[in-house]
Amino acid sequence: MPSRTIVILAIVLIGFLSACQPQGELPLPSLTPFSATLPPFMPSATVSYEPYPSSAQEQQASPISSPNKVILPTQIPDDRPPTLTLQPTSTPTFNPERWTDLPIVPLLSERVKEIYLFGLEIGNRPNAFSKVGDCGSTPSWFLGDFDRGPRFYNLGEYTHLQTVIDYYRGSFERTSLAALAGYNTSSVLTPLWSNKEFCKNDEAPLACEYRLHRPSIALITLGANDVYHIDSFEPQLRKIIEYSIAQGVIPVLATKPDNLEKDHRINRITAQLAIEYQIPLWNYWKAVQPLPNHALQEDGVHITFAANDFSNPLNMQAGWPIRNLTALQVLYALYTYLNTP
């Protein structure tokens, strides 16, 4: 019965919301800082730093702070450039068991720039990114502090990352319509899960988020909730990748820190698809391996918490500062590569 289904979904959602609570900071040993090892890059004077384009015809609707802004039409104009190839463009030689060796901050392919330039042609914003995930992708946990001002974070020795904080201003604290407690790869493709205040009745959360925010990049941090429907993870993630590419959005896939499925299958699949489609893989799993309990709380799923003070060695032993730091490094790598002729 429909009413029974709604009640069950509500109970599941409440359970995931209650699970997103931090633990205290732990007195843990020191950690060697991560570095993207990329040269500093200053944007061209022609690049806009405004969170939204100045033209009223190009303004995007923000579901949190600007509900009255003009919404771009759903349909792309008929004179758009040819659609990009959605299928894997090659079959690289890659042993899925070697995913643990892949770098934390990805090396970037020409395919990434091809997707980006296509996105610009169809109206995506170069200085906007979206988050796609569960409760761990909401701004109270993930990256939101970097829109709230310097008193909420300390970059320590990573001062070069202020460049991307300035450039992508407005995307960090924005609540994505494709990020919600309990989401998995199927949820973001299912209209039932959409926020009906801002999305169309037949519009999935992912499509709604891309239509309203028009990002050039999507940080896709799914998988933790897919362990309960693991057989559908690969086909659903492929749909997310191919839909993102079709919309000119660079899908950045992330490995997860836990191993609830016991064989790291989700991370192997994630890495394999990143290689196949020549898109970025943010290997967050590798980033937390030096940390005690690999930055996981006692439940083996949720990440240990500390404030985003990258100058504090104690804070840098927790999972959330490392997650936010490495996400900024991934954005810096993309920003540098995409803005270099």
Whether pLDDT at 322 is above 70: yes
Q: Is residue 305 part of a domain?
A: yes
pLDDT at 299: 85
Q: In 3D, which of 275, 202, 259 has the Cα closest to residue 226?
A: 259
Q: Which residue type occupies 19?
A: A
Q: Whole-prediction pTM value?
A: 0.77
Whether pLDDT at 79 is above 80: no
Whether pLDDT at 133 is above 80: yes
Q: Is residue 66 part of a domain?
A: no
pLDDT at 88: 66
Q: Is residue 222 part of a domain?
A: yes
Which of 39-43, 234-238, 286-290 is least confident?
A: 39-43
Which of 19-33, 76-90, 137-151, 211-225 is least confident?
A: 19-33
Report d(CA 75, CA 290) in Å as an integer.
47
220-234 confidence digits (pLDDT tens): 999 999 998 899 999
Confidence of residue 85 (pLDDT cuts 50, 70, 90): low
Whether pLDDT at 53 is above 80: no
Whether pLDDT at 262 is above 70: yes
Higher pLDDT, 261 or 40: 261
Q: Is residue 232 part of a domain?
A: yes
What residues make up the domain containing 160?
A: 94-338
How does DSSP assign 255-322, residue by residue? --S--TTSS-HHHHHHHHHHHHHT--EE-HHHHTTTSGGGGB-TTSSSBP---SBTT-TTGGGSHHHH
User: How many domains is the chain built from?
Assistant: 1
Which of 61-75, 76-90, 98-112, 145-159 is least confident?
A: 61-75
How does DSSP assign 94-145, residue by residue? --GGGGGGS-SSPP--HHHHHHHHHHHHTT--TT-EEEEESGGGSTTTTTTH
pLDDT at 64: 29
Say which CATH number the domain at 269 has: 3.40.50.1110
Task: Tell me the pLDDT of the chain averaged across its residues.
Answer: 79
Q: Is residue 65 part of a domain?
A: no
183-227 confidence digits (pLDDT tens): 999 999 999 999 999 999 999 999 999 999 999 999 999 999 999
pLDDT at 239: 97
pLDDT at 90: 53
Beta pairing class for 281-282 and 217-221: unpaired
Q: Is residue 34 part of a domain?
A: no
Which of 98-112, 162-176, 192-206, 292-306 is least confident?
A: 292-306
Q: Is residue 299 part of a domain?
A: yes
Q: Is residue 87 part of a domain?
A: no
